[in-house]
């Protein structure tokens, strides 16, 4: 009870000390608020950009790659563009390799992905969505990535094998083309082929769009999934490829994406244990070793890789380097603000040396004086933290107005709000520590004598 009463009394003195000189107290609060707000704005941006795109699943997903291109190696060395060195990394594979690896059943689930831009037209030809990206994949994609179905079902491995033109579309596309969310049984025309809708899904939009980054990193999604085999039968080709076999001439004469000759399919595997990861990595290397005779004439060494989602995002530098640099600048600004506040509090407390000396002479202990002044600094910083909340929201609003592709992601979640509160307490403790100690070690005899 005695300790509680001591804290209560020290708190009363701390509040009284803050209110005694309101202008100086306001200066402390504003300085702290600006430092915390700048730091939290940049940290929040880093937090949302580096968040797990698929919580609960991404830790078991791995991108698999093998090099089977009949071409000179380009990815193993640096490239030079206008005198600037750049690293080239390949991550997609050819159709034959994809089919072989899928058929091997060496992973719990495995799928290929390829984005295709196409006009989506309702079966009766009355409604269309122009230049939209669909995902050519396999039946494993929906359960493997946890896509939520609202109506109907996903297609089956048997429909994959039969190359059936079936599709799963999202709710927004169903309403656009058919006027109703439940579009199961309807048909969508892609080129000249009708794809029968077997399921309607909720919009699946992981951020970042890690499984097909070439289609976009943030604020990107596909509104339709189709079997990649049926897509190829319909004459559809992926939007991008890493490279093509030497000698292959694309029909358009400009860029080749045909999976038969170009590395245009991404292969993802679900591996639930470290042993499965090790076994699959060995399997990939064994497969590419078997291709060595065909590849040796191109001066290639057998190459494969198996990387996790986190490694993949890091390799592709999904979080801009400028974001991390801005965090360090904001931390430096916060430290500068803390030093200024420390100086303000020290000057403020030392102006009371005579008052402190008299209080000590009347029986107050050094610990009591220290507690009073560190609470005063802490209260000021908590007020600064409270003021930092609207300032942080303002900073995030300004970032959203920049029109970047990740603008819609920028918000304060409960975790970051809790971090702001913790940061305010830590800042209060750090900036108040030295000034409170200097106030506590004032010798009472000297101050009473001078008085």
Write out pLDDT tens, residues 84-122: 333 446 789 999 999 999 999 899 899 999 999 999 999
Question: Which tens digits make up the pLDDT trace of 127-155?
Answer: 888 989 999 999 999 999 999 999 999 99
Average pLDDT over residues 197-213: 92
Neighbours of 312 (CB within 10 A): 20
The string of DSSP codes covering 65-127 is EE---SS---SSS-EEETTEEE------B-HHHHHHHHHT--SSEEEEEEEEEEEEEETTSS-
**Most confidently modeled of 122-126, 163-167, 234-238?**
163-167
Question: Which tens digits make up the pLDDT trace of 346-370?
Answer: 777 666 666 666 565 655 676 667 7
Neighbours of 340 (CB within 10 A): 16
Neighbours of 403 (CB within 10 A): 6
pTM of the model: 0.80
Whole-angstrom distance, CA of residue 203 vs CA of residue 118: 18
In this predicted structure, what is the pLDDT of residue 227?
97
Measuring CA to CA, how many Å separate 270 from each of 57, 109, 247, 304, 397?
A: 9, 5, 35, 17, 38
Is residue 385 over pLDDT 90? no
Question: Is residue 225 a contact partner of residue 134, using CB atoms and an 8 Å limit?
Answer: yes
Is omega for the bond preceding 208 within 30 degrees of 0, making it cis? Answer: yes
Question: Which tens digits make up the pLDDT trace of 10-47?
Answer: 677 667 766 777 788 888 889 989 999 999 999 888 88
Average pLDDT over residues 213-221: 83
HSE at residue 192, side-chain half, CA atoms within 13 A, is: 2
Whole-angstrom distance, CA of residue 50 vs CA of residue 210: 12
Please tell me which residue, 208 or 344, carries the higher pLDDT value: 208
- Per-residue pLDDT band at 55 (split at 50, 70, 90): very high
For the chain, state the CA radius of gyration: 31
In this predicted structure, what is the pLDDT of residue 328?
92
Please tell me which residue, 116 or 254, carries the higher pLDDT value: 116
Please tell me which residue, 227 or 71, carries the higher pLDDT value: 227
Is residue 2 over pLDDT 50? no
- Per-residue pLDDT band at 78 (split at 50, 70, 90): very low
In this predicted structure, what is the pLDDT of residue 190?
94
Question: Which tens digits make up the pLDDT trace of 267-299?
Answer: 999 999 999 999 999 999 999 998 887 777 777
Those residues with Cβ within 8 angstroms of residue 421's Cβ, 6 or more apart along the chain or in another chain:
385
Q: How many residues does the chain have?
A: 451
In this predicted structure, what is the pLDDT of residue 244?
87
Question: Is residue 323 a contact partner of residue 406, using CB atoms and an 8 Å limit?
Answer: no
Mean pLDDT lowest among 57-66, 329-338, 404-413: 404-413
DSSP annotation of 193 reads E
Average of per-residue pLDDT values in the chain? 83
Is residue 451 over pLDDT 60? no
Average pLDDT over residues 389-396: 89
Is residue 441 over pLDDT 50? yes
Question: Is residue 196 a contact partner of residue 185, using CB atoms and an 8 Å limit?
Answer: yes
Question: Is residue 429 a contact partner of residue 378, using CB atoms and an 8 Å limit?
Answer: yes
Is residue 220 over pLDDT 80? yes
In this predicted structure, what is the pLDDT of residue 166?
97
Beta strands in 191-232 (DSSP E): 193-201, 224-227
Average pLDDT over residues 368-383: 77
């Amino acid at each position: 009870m005695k300790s509680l009463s001591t804290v209560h009394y020290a708190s009363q003195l701390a509040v009284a000390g803050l209110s005694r000189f309101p202008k100086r107290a306001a200066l402390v609060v504003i300085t702290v608020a600006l430092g915390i707000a700048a730091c939290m704005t940049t940290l929040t941006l880093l937090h949302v950009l580096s968040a797990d795109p698929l919580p609960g699943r991404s830790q078991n997903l791995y991108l698999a790659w093998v090099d089977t291109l009949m071409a000179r190696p380009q990815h193993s060395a640096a490239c030079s563009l206008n005198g600037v060195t750049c690293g080239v990394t390949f991550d997609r594979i050819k159709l034959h390799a994809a089919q072989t690896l899928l058929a091997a059943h060496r992973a719990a689930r495995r799928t290929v992905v390829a984005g295709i831009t196409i006009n989506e037209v309702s079966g009766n030809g009355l409604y269309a969505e122009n230049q939209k990206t669909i995902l050519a994949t396999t039946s494993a994609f929906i359960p493997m990535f946890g896509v939520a179905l609202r109506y109907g079902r996903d297609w089956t491995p048997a429909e994959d094998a039969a190359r059936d033109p079936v599709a799963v579309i999202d709710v927004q596309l169903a309403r656009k083309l058919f006027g109703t969310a439940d579009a199961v049984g309807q048909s969508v025309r892609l080129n000249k082929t009708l794809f029968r809708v077997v399921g309607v899904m909720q919009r699946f939009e992981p951020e970042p769009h890690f499984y097909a980054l070439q289609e976009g990193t943030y604020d990107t999604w596909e509104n339709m999934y189709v079997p990649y085999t049926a897509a190829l039968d319909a004459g559809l080709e992926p939007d991008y490829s890493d490279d093509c076999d030497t000698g292959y001439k694309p029909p358009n004469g400009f860029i080749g994406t045909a999976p038969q000759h170009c590395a245009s399919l991404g292969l993802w595997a679900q591996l639930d244990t470290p042993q499965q990861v090790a076994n699959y990595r060995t399997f990939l290397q064994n497969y590419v070793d078997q291709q060595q005779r065909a590849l040796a004439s191109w001066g290639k060494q057998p190459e494969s890789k198996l990387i996790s989602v986190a490694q993949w995002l890091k390799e592709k530098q999904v979080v801009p380097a400028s974001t991390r640099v801005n965090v360090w600048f904001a931390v430096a600004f916060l430290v500068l603000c803390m030093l200024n506040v420390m100086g303000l509090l020290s000057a403020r407390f030392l102006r009371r040396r005579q008052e402190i000396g008299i209080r000590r002479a009347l029986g107050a202990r050094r610990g009591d004086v220290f507690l009073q002044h560190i609470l005063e600094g802490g209260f000021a910083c908590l007020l600064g933290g409270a003021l930092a909340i609207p300032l942080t929201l303002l900073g995030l609003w300004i970032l959203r107005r920049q029109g970047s592709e990740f603008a819609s992601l920028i918000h304060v979640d409960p975790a970051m709000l809790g971090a702001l509160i913790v940061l305010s307490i830590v800042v209060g403790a750090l900036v108040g520590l030295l000034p409170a100690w200097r106030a506590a070690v004032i010798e009472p005899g000297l101050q009473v004598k001078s008085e």
